[in-house]
Structure 1
């Protein structure tokens, strides 16, 4: 199905997706549970919610080779690490700072692609990366005015970006071999197993939480996951780069929600740095969206590649 056949305007589901993913940081802020517990139950409940759909595609499990099984598990390890680091960052810094730093994901993907896959880049891409990095430094500088712990939160958020890029790099190599439902289930379930073991090792309490916390665990598994389901559906009508523009929407949506629901404010340095990060990422993605001129041979076919590295996980 192409873009002209989509049943509703593209802006509506994309807006719903951005709003859904923007609530992720708010739920973490509302919770008093350890970050590793929040991460574990989010992944565990998300796996359970996917089970009825995955049952329809259960025959695909027989096609998973030992090598791909190991890669799926490793992808789950990176995803578990991402959530623990990011949820931990929200315990130290503001929603705005943490989510804006997450917007650096496409640029970290660019760096990773250069070193791991020898992917070439352009001067303009390096320039936009420089703008975003300056913005991230300004956010950290602004956080010094809040507390020394806020800097720790910024660092944890950036480390979570590195972890999620590792998850995406593995995903782009194997996701086409299964349906996205099977891939998501295997990765989510692997991440939940890793987090269960981690919580057992650090002796984090897994039970005894009040009803409010269990509600937050469930909301984390449902609401942000709605965003991923919508984005997967949108891939039938638009390319992945278009969907990745939601990276710019999440910090804005989360910051607005944090202002009204958490009473969080912003310093001048944070606002200026955040704008630079968003501008840098916006120009980077816009550049990626403009195809380079191609001289066609008489029988040449044009295939539009999907840039999997830019997809967002929250």
Structure 2
């Protein structure tokens, strides 16, 4: 099939929907991790997503059979980036604080922005660079909210002294590696999505990522089953909503929008997660989270004004 010059649905609208869907991830992960280990949760997320996709994958079997070797190579690479991103970032949380980990992993748009002109030949305007930096600043404030508070004497932070020491340093390196891998996933996705349908792309990528994560979970020695029924419900919701609806929306947008723009928009996820945590978990945002969320939205708006549509597949 020839590529479509115009998408059937606005990629900006789809991207907005994807941000909301992925924002549910933290809630479902929190509920599933009451019984399941982090790597096991990640593995179930991709396995269930791949199983749900099977009927749609079967409909695209003719296109999948016609994939060229270079396409398959890019698809496998994208799946590997996705799987290892989940693995190293989740593992980082066992060594460093949530704040340090999130600060580092949310640098993904910066690496996408630096590498897009090299690998994708997508030049970024000063406005997009400005929006990126503003959004990253907001992300840092949201992440620091866990260890910092605003007092009468100004900003007071604790728990940051171990950032470059011992186990914390290892965790920080893993979180930064998670950002690099997420950037690779975005860049490869942008490159290969323009050559085949969305269903074929996500079926191959999610399937390969699922195989890798199951292998990692087995090697970790963690229990892969024996959970209560409700845990499996949370795992299924994790696969259906943030993975299938959320990440698939991102992959749709990558077929039409610059990779760096999509990665900047993803920075809005903490805002959605914070809002959802209020009714579900009873967690209210603090001052820094509110200010940081506002700055993120400002950065995204700044970048959006100069967003450029790309061309890709519509299915």
Counterpart secondary structure, 1:132: helix
1:145-184 alpha-carbon deviations (Å, 9 max, x no partner):
3874998799866654432221121122222332211111
Confirm or deny: 8 A CA contact 1:103 1:251 kept in the other structure.
no
Change (3 A) 1:121 1:279: same
Change (3 A) 1:271 1:286: same
Shift of 1:50: 0.7
Confirm or deny: 8 A CA contact 1:103 1:247 kept in the other structure.
no
* Corresponding position of 2:53: 50
Change (3 A) 1:171 1:144: same
Unaligned runs of 5+ in 2: 149-156
Matched, 1:194 2:195: no
Distance (Å, rounded) in 2 between the aligned partners of 1:200 and 1:109: 32
Distance (Å, rounded) in 2 between the aligned partners of 1:58 and 1:133: 41
* Corresponding position of 1:295: none
Change (3 A) 1:255 1:85: farther
Distance (Å, rounded) in 2 between the aligned partners of 1:20 and 1:213: 19
* Corresponding position of 1:253: 272
Q: 165-174 vs 48-57, which deviates more?
A: 165-174
In the alignment, which of 196, 201, 206 is matched to residue 224 of structure 2?
206
Matched, 1:176 2:194: yes
Distance (Å, rounded) in 2 between the aligned partners of 1:130 and 1:248: 11
Number of equivalent positions: 286
Change (3 A) 1:22 1:4: closer
User: Normalized against structure 2, the TM-score is what?
Assistant: 0.72
* Corresponding position of 1:265: 284
Q: 46-55 vs 218-227, which deviates more?
A: 218-227
* Corresponding position of 1:29: 30
Shift of 1:58: 0.8
Confirm or deny: 8 A CA contact 2:193 2:251 kept in the other structure.
no
Distance (Å, rounded) in 1 between the aligned partners of 2:228 and 2:23: 24
Distance (Å, rounded) in 1 between the aligned partners of 2:140 and 2:251: 33
Counterparts of residues 103-182 of structure 1 (less than 5 Å): 105-117=108-120, 119-145=122-148, 148=159, 159-182=177-200
Change (3 A) 1:133 1:57: closer
Confirm or deny: 8 A CA contact 1:107 1:281 kept in the other structure.
no
* Corresponding position of 2:63: 60
RMSD value, Cα: 4.0
Distance (Å, rounded) in 2 between the aligned partners of 1:103 and 1:77: 19
* Corresponding position of 1:305: 310
* Corresponding position of 2:235: 217
Distance (Å, rounded) in 2 between the aligned partners of 1:116 and 1:235: 15
Unaligned runs of 5+ in 1: 290-303, 309-314
Distance (Å, rounded) in 2 between the aligned partners of 1:85 and 1:4: 34
Change (3 A) 1:172 1:19: closer
Confirm or deny: 8 A CA contact 2:135 2:267 kept in the other structure.
no
Counterpart secondary structure, 1:77: helix
Counterpart secondary structure, 1:177: coil
Distance (Å, rounded) in 1 between the aligned partners of 2:202 and 2:291: 36
